[in-house]
Every structure is written in C-alpha cells, then in structure tokens.
Amino acid sequence: MNSLIKRVLEAEGVKDFPKKITDEIIRVSEGCPRQALVTLDAVIDIEDDDKALEAVSVVTIGEAEVIEICRGIMNNESWSTMRIKVKNVLQDNEPEKVRYACLGYFSAILLNANAGDNRVSSLIDLFSENTYASGKAGLINAIYLSRK
C-alpha cells in the first residue's frame, strides 16, 4: 500500500508528504487500495499536518460507530436498539464502507480468540458479500440476520 501511495504522490509531483499522514491513510484503509486513494485525494492538498490528519479521520468511517454496531451484534441487542445505530451510521457513510469495517472488526475478534468461535466465523461469512448491488438494504439485512 505504501508503494501505491508513493507512486501517486510522485505522479502528482508532491514531495515531502508527511510519513505520519501516509501511515494513517494506510492504517484507516485496512488494506483497501481504493479507500487509500480516496483518502489520499481528500487530504493531498492540505498543508497543515494536523488538519490533514483530522481530515483523514473525517473521510473514513468512524470506528466508534462501527464498534457500537458490532458490539450490538455480539451482545444480541434488540432490533429496535440496533435499528437506531444502523440508521445513524448509514446516514453519513456508504454501506460498503460499513460492511468492510464490520468485517474487519469480526476478523480481529476471530484472530484474537483463544479458541475457535463458530459464531464469529458465521458473521464473517454473512458480511463477506459486498453491497454494491444491494446497497443499504443488503447491509441492513446482514445486520438484522446477524443478531440471530
């Protein structure tokens, strides 16, 4: 991912782009080159490093919102509670970004588990299909089904 960002910066004629911003773009992109490029495009012209770092977090989905949804799924919260969380996160975010963030959360849980967790594995399966065709409805359905 780092080499992709470097190539884009070179092609754009940008020199001395701060490493801390590049590192943050890579971190929040979670291995998704498209997300890294979208984020880079949003911050490439910001000269103040602190403002650029702040912009990186604005461009990406809020981790706290996704964690709330994922914890709600793991705790089998009621649909009425989950519905409010889902509405809030989808108000300002693309369904695919939310799905991908949830997938990352559940993957981290599975990797850090002491023993295999079939439920988390099932959640990963449920969130594995992209939402390009189904959009918000597909993500809402995946979240609804994941609570069972």
**DSSP letters spanning the chain:** -HHHHHHHHHHTT--S--HHHHHHHHHHHTT-HHHHHHHHHHHTT--SHHHHHHHHHHHSPPHHHHHHHHHHHHTT--HHHHHHHHHHHHHHS-HHHHHHHHHHHHHHHHHH-SS--HHHHHHHHHT-S--TTTHHHHHHHHHHHHT-
Task: Verify that 54 and 85 share a domain, yes or no.
Answer: no
Residue scoring higher pLDDT (24 or 58): 24
Structure token digits, residue 135 = 């959009």
Task: Verify that 39 and 94 share a domain, yes or no.
Answer: no
Reply yes or no on whether the pLDDT at 77 is more than 90: yes
- Mean residue pLDDT of the chain comes to 85
Tokens 């988390």 appear where?
A: 120
Domain boundary residue, one of 37, 59, 81: 59
Task: Verify that 99 and 119 share a domain, yes or no.
Answer: yes
Q: Which domain holds residue 16?
A: 2-59
Reply yes or no on whether the pLDDT at 113 is more than 70: no
C-alpha to C-alpha distance for 144 and 138, rounded to whole angstroms: 10
Task: Verify that 82 and 134 share a domain, yes or no.
Answer: yes
Query: Binning pLDDT at 50, 70 and 90, where does residue 60 land?
Result: low
* pTM more than 0.75: no
C-alpha to C-alpha distance for 147 and 79, rounded to whole angstroms: 8
Task: Verify that 97 and 78 share a domain, yes or no.
Answer: yes
The pLDDT value recorded for residue 63 is 66
Task: Verify that 48 and 98 share a domain, yes or no.
Answer: no
Task: Verify that 47 and 69 share a domain, yes or no.
Answer: no
The pLDDT value recorded for residue 17 is 92
Task: Verify that 31 and 89 share a domain, yes or no.
Answer: no
Task: Verify that 111 and 44 share a domain, yes or no.
Answer: no
Residue scoring higher pLDDT (35 or 124): 124
Structure token digits, residue 100 = 């991908």
The pLDDT value recorded for residue 38 is 80
pLDDT, tens digit, 9 for 90 and up, residues 6-50: 999 999 999 889 999 999 888 888 777 877 888 888 888 888 888
Task: Verify that 17 and 86 share a domain, yes or no.
Answer: no
Reply yes or no on whether the pLDDT at 84 is more than 90: yes
79 in Cβ contact with 144 (< 8 Å): yes
C-alpha to C-alpha distance for 111 and 28, rounded to whole angstroms: 19
Say how many domains are in the chain: 2
Tokens 């949830």 appear where?
A: 102
The pLDDT value recorded for residue 114 is 58
